[in-house]
Amino acid sequence: MAKFSFEHSFEIDTLKRLIAQYQGLFRHQSLLDLHYRGEPLSVTAIELGKQDAPCPTVLFVGGVHGVERIGAQVVLAFLGSLLNRLSWDSHLQALLKEVRLAFVPVANPVGFLQGSRSNGNYVDLMRNAPIDAEEKVTFLVGGHRLTNKLPWYRGKKGMEAETQVLVDYVHQLQDSSTSVIALDAHSGFGLSDHIWFPYAHTRKPFEGMGYIYHLKQLFDRGYPHHGHYKLAPQSHFYQTHGDIWDYLAQTNPSSNPFIPLTLEMGSWAWVKKNPRQIFNFSGYFNPQKTHRHHRILRRHVVLMQFLIEAAYANVLENINQAQFERLQADAERYWAKKP
């Protein structure tokens, strides 16, 4: 008999199925072996594409928060699509000769099985990196060390194993790449789709903002009907302690571009259309009607495809110093004020 409901293990099972079905087409490794109620689990990383020499890398992360299942599903659906196309799509084959694509679709598997935002120690991984907000943060939500019985708990000193292996893995990618773009898929904030970039711990402008501004211009021009994303520094919304991407931006072992983007899918819109979801904790973070679910899985494909095309075209690598300085100045002007 299955120990866990189908709903709770769906993403973990999907990942296992993809690995069983397509092994040989990619490299996969367990970054961390875990157990939950006797069940062996792992934080799995999958890599496709160029391996040996430094190259542009795009990393897709999902499931940092166990209740935000749709994030893992969006990443798994995109990975599945790439794997299904690989046998005939000559453009994708060419892209993978030049680019590394990395996936950590379920970063917090215990959180999935226990149906919690936190990991098995009730620590919120996105508040757990060793970095403190510069200003006073929103009570509880910004991260706290009061008790693991309250959400957004930062943990005691030190990183949780899940945080540590993600940090180590990204450092390794940063070290072996000419650029790294990371997209970390979450849900639950607001009515519309947001994309946040550093910093979460300070209002100070992110040093890589010029690159993000450049990507924004290319995306807006190339996909003028996909303007549903609100792109801004996270500190425009709230500041937090312990943000993993802030920490990785500040500890990048290479001087090459590192662009961490957090996709916050606007789940309140799903709730508005189906108010019953309010009474269902999981439904608050995840669309429940089939047509809506398909729409969400579809909705971000253009963005993800754009990011890998941008990597293939070396758009970040091709920016020279003078251009970057102009872009950075434009970006700082553009994001100087909150919307």
> Which residues sit at the interface with Zn ion, rule CB under 5 A?
65, 68, 186
Going by their DSSP bridges, the two strands 39-49 and 27-36 should be labelled as: antiparallel
CA 155, CA 299: separation in Å to the nearest integer? Answer: 34
Q: CB of 113: closest distance to Zn ion in angstroms? A: 17
Q: Is the Cβ of residue 133 or residue 244 nearer to Zn ion in the bound state? A: 244
Q: Is the Cβ of residue 247 or residue 312 nearer to Zn ion in the bound state? A: 247
Backbone angles phi, psi at 163, to 5 degrees: -65, -45
Q: CB of 50: closest distance to Zn ion in angstroms? A: 30
Q: In the complex, which residue's CB is closest to Zn ion?
A: 186
Q: Is the Cβ of residue 68 or residue 246 nearer to Zn ion in the bound state? A: 68
Under a CB-based contact definition with an 8 Å cutoff, are residues 170 and 59 in contact? yes
Q: CB of 68: closest distance to Zn ion in angstroms? A: 5
Paired strand residues for 193: 229
Q: Is the Cβ of residue 84 or residue 280 nearer to Zn ion in the bound state? A: 280
Radius of gyration of the CA atoms of the chain, in A: 19
Buried residues in 51-63 as b, exposed as e (16+ CB within 10 A): eeeebbbbbbbbb
Coil, helix or strand for 14? Answer: helix
Q: CB of 65: closest distance to Zn ion in angstroms? A: 4
CA 60, CA 45: separation in Å to the nearest integer? Answer: 10
Q: Is the Cβ of residue 36 or residue 284 nearer to Zn ion in the bound state? A: 284
CA 211, CA 226: separation in Å to the nearest integer? Answer: 20
Under a CB-based contact definition with an 8 Å cutoff, are residues 60 and 304 in contact? yes
Q: Residue 300: name the closest of 195, 191, 189 by CA.
A: 195
Q: CB of 66: closest distance to Zn ion in angstroms? A: 9
Q: CB of 313: closest distance to Zn ion in angstroms? A: 30
